[in-house]
Structure 1
Amino acid sequence: MVSKILSRRDLDFLLYEWLDVEALTERERFAEHSRETFDAFLDVSAQIAERDFAPHNRRNDLEEPTFDGVRVEVHPEVGAALKVFNETGLISGTMDAELGGLQLPAVVARACFLWFQAANIATSSYPLLTMANAHLLTTYGSPAQIARFVQPMVEGRFTGTMCLSEPQAGSSLSDVLTRAVSHEDGSYRITGSKMWISGGDHELSETIVHLVLARVAGAPPGVKSLSLFIVPKHHVAEDGTVGERNGVSLSGLNHKMGWRGTTNAVLSFDDATGYLVGEEGKGLAYMFHMMNEARIGVGAGAVALGYTGYLHALDYARERLQGRPVAAKDPAAPPVPIVDHPDVRRMLLASKAYVEGGLGLILYASKLLDEPSAENDLLLDVLTPIVKAWPSQWCRVANDHAIQVHGGYGYTREYPVEQFYRDNRLNSIHEGTDGIQALDLLGRKAVMKGGAGLALLLSTIRASCTGDLGAPVLAVCDRVASSTETLWKDGDPTVALANATAYLDAVGHLVIAWIWLSQIDAVGDKTGAFYDGKRLAARYFITHELPKIGPMLDLLDSRDTLLADLDPAWLG
């Protein structure tokens, strides 16, 4: 039976025929691995996703976590699934062997985790955040902190979160009010409130390791004076033993339209004991390590949800009999599968182009982590806002199409596609809204180092622009370069950033067109339905989708400031 969670055939193509992941085993770090071990982890991920994660996805949605004022209750299937996940070792999949890690390539670990995100985005969010938390601490934490807090996460005993937002500040981190006061024993006392904390409270682990941004008493305003602290839910002894509650309490749970199985908390820190990570005043720089990993994780989750929605719609369209071809003359002729109708095919082909292109982008970005160099690091830096935001918007369109393909059944809860859409809607807000990613791309990434990052991206794309489909992509490269120069010609950020979202949309579509060009280069002259489908999706995206960004680039070239000049009073 073909899975409706993800396509293993597509993953195999992307990993082995396109990205040549097997070649990574020639690197010392991955020398103990082979395609056989990669396949084994992919196989077990698919098996556990189907058996332990997917079955309670609907229950996650219908039966949200509850808080009785003392404890958070999550239904037992969540904990059972996480226990099985932890037993795979994937929680430390990319970590060093010395820490108990598997030293898997990031691209393989990402491909494995996509199965869990597609099967159950809410349950998979707990290990997603825990892994990112642990990776930050292994990079910036002290050996003692790693032993005390990371090792139990690797063992599956602890989970982790990130605590940035506050009720009054949201994404404006310069307005963080949480305070830290140094204590004579070298620890700090943390006081404040944090909002929208995914996985912020539950009984799924022995304790929760919160990474908290706070301002040390006496530090000046602004993001450059924020520090990062480990603040566990319970006191944790140096040997990892869990003790009494720390000064962290749950003020309440937020109730979102999607990801309903993930606890989302308002946390109060009342003189809680915290431990400084690294140096004072460098907290945001450290936190970006976790934020950027989480942004790729959010983009991956958006792809996963779009992909499973597409597969459900494709299966439904092949089975659902309704209507007759427009040229049919006999009203008594039997109905045909709706996949035979051109508009249904339009939606399915568009969805295929979005989700398979988005999946390629996620895996390409992940592989850059496996081949670190100054050039690859710079390329990933430029791509990260696109990796987060483009799938969050366009793979959600695939979910929208999936509802439409199902017709009246699509928006009923008897079919899962409406849940996939609601779950995916959150990803445009998670880890910095798409608008924030747009400002990051145009305001920072496109101009940093004298524009070297954007120039590298465009030169990398141009190298793939061959054949009849390469010409329009090459033309868009030239336009993006000139539009960027036009926007910043006088250095006025108000003018340059007035239409940052249009810039993100345009560059995002260009990047996906490049991903498709690169994929069909790997297809070459191979034959069969799978490869024909790749060629068709690439042609569709470049001939039907890429031209949509022309008006966006026209707007950017005009340096229109309507949105910057708008008086809020005019909105009514």
Structure 2
Amino acid sequence: MSLRPTLDFLLYDWLHAESLAERERFADHSRETFDAVLDTCERIAREKYAPSNRIVDTQEPHFDGERVILPQATHDAHKAFVESGMLSAAQDYDIGGMQLPYTLSAAANSFFAMASVSIGSNMLTSGNANLLMVHGTEMQKEVFAKNEFAGRWSGTMCLSEPQAGSSLSDVATRAVPDGADFQDDPLGPRFRLTGNKMWISAGDHELTENIVHIVLAKIPDENGKLIPGTRGISLFIVPKRMVDTEGRLTGERNDVALAGLNHKLGWRGTTNTLLNFGEGKFPVGGKAGAVGYLVGQPGKGLFCMFHMMNEARIGVGTAATMLGMAGYHASLEYAKARPQGRPAGPAGKDSARPQVRIIEHADVRRMLLAQKAYCEGALALELYCARLVDEQKTGAAQAADDARLLLEVLTPIAKSWPSEWCLEANSLAIQIHGGYGYTRDFPVEQYWRDNRLNMIHEGTHGIQAADLLGRKVLMEDGRGLQLLAGRIAETMARAGKVPALAAHAAALGDALQRIGTATKKAWATGNPQEALANAVPYMQAFGHVVLAWIWLDVAHRALERDADKGQPATAGRVGATDFFFHYELPKIGAWLNVVESRDPTCAALPEEAF
């Protein structure tokens, strides 16, 4: 079963991605060049990534005392990815990019995530370089970002610490000026960093000749004390190996040491590390302290870092989606081939009759349809967000501003919804395989293990929920929520005229109104503790309403192309829409009940009662 027909429909029939070639930035492109990129990435994913997915799961990275060792398959896949040019696909021609729309870049990278997410598509490297292209100096762009885009160097982001995971205000890594002589360094004001960073993906390896760490740290005040909260946080470039202004390695190792590799449930093809900065193991110029170059203004580190974090959140959502999709395709293939049992009813009691394939059982179809609704719906959402990125960057002024605000509201959903529901899809894929699904002889158990990370990294579920209800739906006097409601209303108006979709349009209208009511009631007292106590149920309901809208819009477009539902793909899209509205959307009532009443059950229970 191929992903390509689904991608083609979403890109060209639904999002009209080929129309982006009419814009000046993408004028050299066409449907033909877009398809060529998709063909190339699909081939690399099939030939270099998919065959190695089990290898990188079983041959975990290990440290031999000097180097981190990864299987050869990872090196081969990384080399093929770099040679494809996808690291800089969306960048300008003058730095070696293709000026490809982000929509197409996101679609093309989905092949790699589906084939082997733990080898990955270098999301952090491109995100790191993109951050520097926005907030870095010209020299930082030239030396660091361009070498990352070229695949010569790779990148990380170093936020969390052993004592401060998602609580970035408690970051304790220090950065002090490296003497007056280095404040005019061509690579940026030079500091010495000391501290520890935890959960650093791709924090050490030998895939590239250098690793560019983007590190959050605090600059002490004049009394040598760290400023509490987020005000004192600044951002630094800390290379693993020291470089000159021409991007050449000087031969000197920076004072960044691998303290250990984390041994993970899944996603084992990528190292996850604890790094020590400035412990003196690799003193630079005979002096302890990791050399770091300031990015942007002092105290503005989080502002800069959120550029990378928001991009990474959409990337995490896409990874979760494609792992779910991989499980769906595997369990669909299995269900079509596996004979087990007989139909319900008198005829099924005749043991002389041949067994039927399990796809003929209603409950197996329920599980398959749930996976399809979750995963294909999530893919549509991620591509819609990618299309908003292109609109923000190349659209007319008002359209670009609307896209910016819609992205603000949708980013927590784009990260959280697939990470919850495509994980559920992976669980259903195991269930369809029965006992075989719980063994390593079939791939679905690995998909579940790999996907379990996505609810955690780049901001946990609870953090995304607090961001959505505590900030995103309120920002700019709720204009983002109003914009989203307007787009949903447009879809409802069109779909309401189609008999097969009219009832769904009405149900979506009721659900949208309920979200508005719940938002107001959650904040009725103005007390953040009361409003946010049930932020996760709010986000779950909000996400389900967004996905119902996405499915209604997709189904409407499918029926426009194929009014008599003669094509199986159209019947599948309408069927997934029916499933979502009948089985999933009604769940929002239970979630929003506790939001509207500001139910105190969880927050009020005393600790000793647990």
TM-score exceeds 0.5: yes
- Confirm or deny that 1:324 pairs with 2:320: no
- The 1-side partners of 2:596 and 2:213 are apart by 45
Q: CA separation in 2, counterparts of 1:559 and 1:178?
A: 38
1:464 is paired with a residue whose SS is helix
Match of 1:267 in 2: 275
Q: Distance in 2 between matches of 1:315 and 1:44?
A: 25
Which residue of structure 2 lines up, in the alignment, with residue 513 of structure 1?
548
Unaligned runs of 5+ residues in structure 2 are 184-189, 279-288, 393-399, 497-501
CA distance in 2, matches of 1:45, 1:172: 37
Residue matched to 1:454: 481
Per-residue CA deviation, residues 237-282 of structure 1 (Å, 9 max, x unaligned), is 1111112110000000001101011100000000011000011110
* Partner of residue 124 from structure 1, selected from 110, 120, 128: 120
Distance 1:552 1:458 in 2: 20
Question: Which residue does 1:77 correspond to in 2?
Answer: 73
Structure 1 residue matching 2:363: 3-state secondary structure: helix
Alignment match, 1:363? 383
Partner of 2:506: 471
Deviating more after overlay: 193-202 vs 543-552: 543-552
| Equivalent of residue 258 in structure 2, options 246, 250, 254 | 250
- CA-based RMSD of the aligned residues comes to 0.9
Alignment of 1:279-294 (within 5 A): 279-294=297-312
CA contact (8 A) 2:56 2:73 kept: no
* SS of the residue 2:342 aligns to: coil
Which secondary structure state, in structure 2, belongs to the residue aligned with residue 167 of structure 1? coil
Once residues 180 and 409 of structure 1 are traced to their aligned partners in structure 2, the CA distance between those partners, rounded to angstroms, is 52
Shift of 1:68: 2.1
Matches within 5 A, 1:272-421: 272-327=290-345, 328=347, 329-372=349-392, 373-421=400-448
Instruction: Give, in whole Å, the separation in 2 of the partners of 1:55 and 1:232.
Output: 32
Q: Report deviation, 1:69.
A: 2.3
Letter in 1 for 2:255: G
Distance in 1 separating the partners of 2:149 and 2:419: 29
Q: Choose the corresponding residue for 2:5, options 6, 9, 13.
A: 9
Give a deviation string over 1:492-541, Cα, whole Å, max 9, x none. 00110010000000000000000001101211240310111000100110
**Are residue 239 (structure 1) and residue 246 (structure 2) matched?**
yes
Q: Which residue of 2 aligns with 1:157?
A: 152
- Does 1:223 pair with 2:230? yes
Does 1:92 find its partner at 2:88? yes
What secondary structure sits across from 2:120 in the alignment? helix
Distance across 2 between alignment mates of 1:108 and 1:152: 23
CA apart distance, 1:377: 0.3
**Contact 2:68–2:204 at 8 Å: present in 1 too?**
yes
Identity %: 53
The CA distance in 2 between the partners of 1:277 and 1:487, in whole Å, is 39
Cα distance in 1 for residues equivalent to 2:4 and 2:607: 50
Distance in 2 (alpha carbons) for counterparts of 1:462 and 1:569: 48
> Aligned residue for 1:29?
25
- For residues 94-109 of structure 1, the aligned pairs below 5 Å read 94-109=90-105
TM-score (norm: length of structure 2):
0.92
Q: Which of 533, 552, 556 is the aligned partner of 1:498?
A: 533
Q: How does 1:475-490 map to 2 (within 5 A)?
A: 475-490=510-525
What are structure 1's unaligned runs of at least 5 residues?
A: none
Per mean C-alpha deviation after superposition, the further-off stretch among 270-279 and 460-469 is 460-469
- How many angstroms does 1:235 deviate by? 0.2
**Secondary structure in 1 matching 2:200:** strand
Paired residue type of 1:481: G
1:287-341 CA distances to partner (integer Å, 9 max, x unpaired)?
0000000000000000000001000000000011111111324311111110000
Q: Partner of 2:293: helix, strand, or coil?
A: strand
**454-463 vs 368-377, which deviates more?**
454-463
1:50 equivalent in alignment to 2:85: no
Match of 1:62 in 2: 58
Please tell me the residue identity of whatever aligns with 1:133: N
Give the Cα–Cα distance (whole angstroms) in 2 for the partners of residues 468 and 168 of structure 1.
51
Equivalent position of 2:186 in the other structure: none
Residue 13 (structure 1) shift: 0.3
Hey, what does 2:608 align to over in structure 1?
A: 569
Alpha-carbon deviation of 1:567? Answer: 1.4
Q: Structure 1 residue 456: deviation in Å?
A: 1.5
Amino acid at match of 1:547: P
Task: Give the deviation of 1:451 after TM superposition.
Answer: 1.4
How far is the alpha carbon of 1:57 from its aligned partner? Answer: 0.6
* C-alpha contact 2:485 2:512 (8 A) present in aligned 1: yes
What is the deviation of 1:40? Answer: 0.6
Using the TM superposition, name which of 227-236 and 237-246 deviates more.
237-246
Shift of 1:469: 1.2
Q: Secondary structure at the match of 1:214?
A: strand
- In 2, the alpha carbon distance for the partners of 1:431 and 1:257 equals 17
Aligned to 1:422: 449
